[in-house]
Amino acid sequence: MATDASYAAYVCDQLHAAGGISARKMFGEYGLYRHGKIVALIADNQLFVKPTPAGEAVLGTPTFGPPYPGAKLFFNVSDLLDDPEWLVRLILATDEALPAPKKKAAKKTVAQKPAPKKPAPKK
């Protein structure tokens, strides 16, 4: 079941205080970003935060679940959506614990060969 756009917007709204929050559609679900770094997934109208020791310290005893079949386990924090202060603390701790996103390599441009000159028509 794909996530509703309104659910993703609600999650972003609840995390507004964290600053720099955005959601991008990915394969019918959403990636949740903070300042360009992916910190969580929104799948099946549930919020799954990337597991980190810092996030676990905020949560205490987290609930785990896969955001999609075959995925590694994430913190399933859908029950925290009604407590935005707690959720913001978790996202900030997770963001700080995760490495910075890798810089995308600059695309190599291939120098175009000049078009061959056409011979002048013979008179």
pLDDT over 90 percentage in the chain: 74
CATH number of the CATH domain containing 72:
3.30.1460.30
User: How would residue 111 be classed by pLDDT, with cut points 50, 70 and 90?
Assistant: low
Query: Residue 89: which domain range?
Result: 5-97
Q: Provide the mean pLDDT of the chain.
A: 90
Amino acid at 96: E
In the chain, beta strands by DSSP E: 21-26, 29-34, 37-43, 46-49, 64-65, 74-76
Q: Tell me which of 2 and 75 has the higher pLDDT.
A: 75
69 found inside a domain: yes
User: How would residue 100 be classed by pLDDT, with cut points 50, 70 and 90?
Assistant: confident
User: Measured between alpha carbons, how far is 84 from 90 in angstroms, rounded to an integer?
Assistant: 10
Instruction: Report the domain count for the chain.
Output: 1
With a cut of 90, say whether residue 93 has pLDDT above it.
Answer: yes
Kindly report the number of other CB atoms within 10 A of residue 41's CB atom. 23
CA distances (Å), 65 to each of 18, 46, 75, 91, in order?
Answer: 24, 10, 6, 17
120 found inside a domain: no
Kindly report the number of other CB atoms within 10 A of residue 37's CB atom. 15
- Its pTM stands at 0.81
57 found inside a domain: yes
Q: Tell me which of 105 and 22 has the higher pLDDT.
A: 22
